[in-house]
Structure formats: structure tokens, C-alpha cells
Amino acid sequence: MDVEALTRDPASGYLERPRVALDAMGGDHAPEEVVRGAVDWAREHADVDVILVGDEARIAPFIDEALPPHVTIVHASEAVDMDEAPAVAVRRKKDAAINVAMRLVRDGKADAVVTAGHTGAGVASAILHLKRLPGVDRPALAIQMITDKGPLTLLDIGATTDSTGVNLAQYAHMGSIFSEQVLGVTDPSVALLSIGGEQGKGEVRVQDATVLLEDGHLNFVGNVEGRDVPHHPADVVVCDASVGNVVMKFFEGLAQVIFGMVEEEFRRPPWGPLGYVFMRPGIGRIRERFDYEKLGGSPLLGVNGTVLITHGSAKRRMVGYAVEVTAAAARANIPERIRAKLIEEGVDKSTAQRKTAVLHHDDESSLVTVDEADEGG
């Protein structure tokens, strides 16, 4: 995510000193890499309060010296494991770090949450404790994809699968608002990702969403195909979470393969090393553009609070960027901007009053439900 874009407009509830609650127990390399990454970043950024949420006894060994005054620890005795059913674990483990972090935001003791942990648990906990915005049946995870004409916003990339046409239409509204209000894109174009560019192609939900979007007032440009995405076919591209997650991870893997092949060729004697001498600056610039760690993570759009979910494999460098982006998102007051725009557009009068949200972890196949009436503390 473009941090400069997030902080571009200091109006609309700009927050001078955000308080970021970090799930210190979430992620493949937690707590060590998460704690070290957050503390290292905080030592260089005294204008953001960082709250490490997790088991104090497990956090302490990874703090090498006295914490800065703007870094604190809030104890949480439990954590959600990656192999647990998200909604069940969130409701059962009331003192899980992700739940404690979300309650800090709910109770006004923090302004944002960032986690590298279980995606499904993060989404479920956000819905359970922060609630959804009016007009939003399901939240969506958004990410900025690198293209040859600059980044585009892709959503949903992993919040909830098995979406309907109505869900996709709501994602389109949230993505458009995010692109316009936060990233500064004027009248952002919106497209649906499908198996063909022609109208009528694709799944039923894509066709249903097309009807809804054509009747609306978004700058809807129709369907786009997967091969179009690298060429920036629209400012916002909308799809179901399962599709978006595959697209995102395919791009990540492809970038690694391409750079690996280029490096292999430059090692080939006799001319490879010599060619690298001349090409090195350009290759470095391209690699910089494709450095996904600098994106920090994905904002969860559609809940009543600022939540960012970063890569589960994040190490200290990416954790630092994740905290930075989360702080910038909190300053930009993304949920309030989306809420205000949804009300202005009349989208808040949709089907958002359902009490049960169907959730998927992006790597799981079993459906789980969260009853919002039972907050579990």
C-alpha cells in the first residue's frame, strides 16, 4: 500500500498520533520476528504508539533492551493456531491475542490492529468485536497489485469465499471509495474479474454483480480477464476471495521465478557477468517495484475499525512496513471515509442487517459461522 497516498489528505478526522495494536503471537515466525520487527521500527518512529499484544513470557526474550516509552505490552494468554477453525477458535479462546487486540480498538484504547496470523481468525475477530459497517454484508481484503501502469486495487483476496453477486457489488463500492478517498484516484474505474471480457460470460455471481453495477453510479467498465490484470485494465478489480488469493499468490511466485531466471542467466559465462554490470541499476529498480514486503499487508475493508492483515510468513522487515502502513491507515481514518461515502451513495440501506456472517479462511474448505450477537467478552 502507498503510505504517502494514505497520508496525502490530513482532513476528515486525521489522527496525529495513532496507537497500533500488534498481534505479537500471529504468524509463521511469531513471536520473535514479529516482536523484533515492531520494536525495531518503533525505535525509529516515536510518533506512533505500538502495543504488543501477546504472552509476556514469550515476548520478553526477544526484547534486547529497554522498550521505548511509546511501546507497551498487553498480556494475552492464548493464541489462535494456523490449523484451527477460525470462528470456533475466536469464540472459544476469548483471551487470544487477536481478540485482545480487537477489543483494544473497540474500547477506544487503540486505533488499529495489525496481524500476521490466521487470516480467517483476523476476519472473524474483527466482525465479532468491531462489527461491520452499515451496508456491508461481508468485509473484503484489498491489496495494491503492481502493473505496468502503476498499482491497481484488487479485492477480495482472502476475507470470505463463496461470495454472491450482491457481495461483489459491495466490494466494488468499497474498492472505489478506497481508491478515491484514500489513494487519491479521481473517478476510479471498476471492473469484475471473469473468464471473458464479454458481457454475460463468467459465473452467475459475476453476471448478477454486472447487473447491479450497470444500474449504479460507479465508473463500471465491465469484465476483465486474468491476462489483463498486469496491464492495469481498471483502477479497481473485483473478484471472489478464492480467485483473488490465487491471483495474488501467482503474481508473487511468478515474480520470484522471473528474477531467479534472470539471475541465473547473468551468471552464465562469459558474457553474463559483464551484462549484469550494465543492467544492474535497471534490474534493481524493477526489483524495487515488485518488493511486496513494502506493501505491508492488506486492509480489511467493511469493518468498523482499522485492521491490516499482513503475510503469514512476514519477518521483521515486512512487520516493520506493516506497522507503518497500519499507522498511516489509522491516520487516514479509512473506515469512517467508507462509512460516510456508503451513506452518501445509499448503499447502507442494503442487506447488511443479517446476524450471521459466513466466513472462510483462505486456505480452508470447511464453512464456519460467527453469530455477532455472541461477542464472548
Per-residue pLDDT of the chain (377 residues; tens, 9 = 90+): 555 545 444 444 567 899 999 999 999 998 999 999 999 999 999 999 999 999 999 999 999 888 999 999 999 999 999 889 988 999 999 999 999 999 999 999 999 999 999 999 999 999 999 999 988 999 999 998 888 888 899 999 999 889 999 999 999 999 998 888 878 889 999 999 998 877 777 788 999 999 989 887 899 999 999 999 999 999 999 999 999 999 988 988 888 898 889 888 888 888 888 888 888 888 888 777 777 777 778 999 999 999 999 988 889 999 999 999 899 889 888 899 888 888 877 765 544 333 333 333 333 333 344 444 344 44
Yes or no: say if 309 and 132 are a contact pair by the CB < 8 Å rule. Answer: no
Q: Is residue 344 domain-resident?
A: yes
The secondary element (H helix, E strand) that includes residue 224 is strand 219-224
Which residue segment(s) compose the domain that 325 sits in?
A: 3-253+286-371
Grid coordinates of 244? 483473488
Q: Is residue 279 domain-resident?
A: no
Q: Is residue 210 domain-resident?
A: yes
Please tell me whether the peptide bond between 81 and the residue prior to it is cis, using omega within 30 degrees of 0: no
Q: Is residue 260 domain-resident?
A: no
Grid coordinates of 24? 505479537
According to the model, what pLDDT value does residue 164 have? 92
CATH of the domain at 297: 3.40.718.10
Listing DSSP states for 109-177 in one string gives S-SEEEE-S-HHHHHHHHHHHH-BPTT-SS-EEEEEEP-BTB-EEEE-SSS--S--HHHHHHHHHHHHH
* Best CA proximity match to 3, nearest among 303, 294, 287, 298: 294
Yes or no: say if 34 and 26 are a contact pair by the CB < 8 Å rule. Answer: yes
Q: Is 32 exposed, middle or buried (0-12, 13-18, 19+ CB in 10 A)?
A: middle
Q: Is residue 271 domain-resident?
A: no
Q: Is residue 95 domain-resident?
A: yes
User: How many residues comprise the chain?
Assistant: 377
According to the model, what pLDDT value does residue 252 have? 82
* Best CA proximity match to 295, nearest among 257, 322, 267: 322
Cα separation, 370 vs 377, whole angstroms: 14
| Total number of domains in the chain | 1
End-to-end CA distance of the chain: 33
pTM of the model: 0.84
According to the model, what pLDDT value does residue 171 have? 95
Q: Is residue 82 domain-resident?
A: yes
* Best CA proximity match to 115, nearest among 89, 131, 136, 97: 97
Q: Is residue 276 domain-resident?
A: no
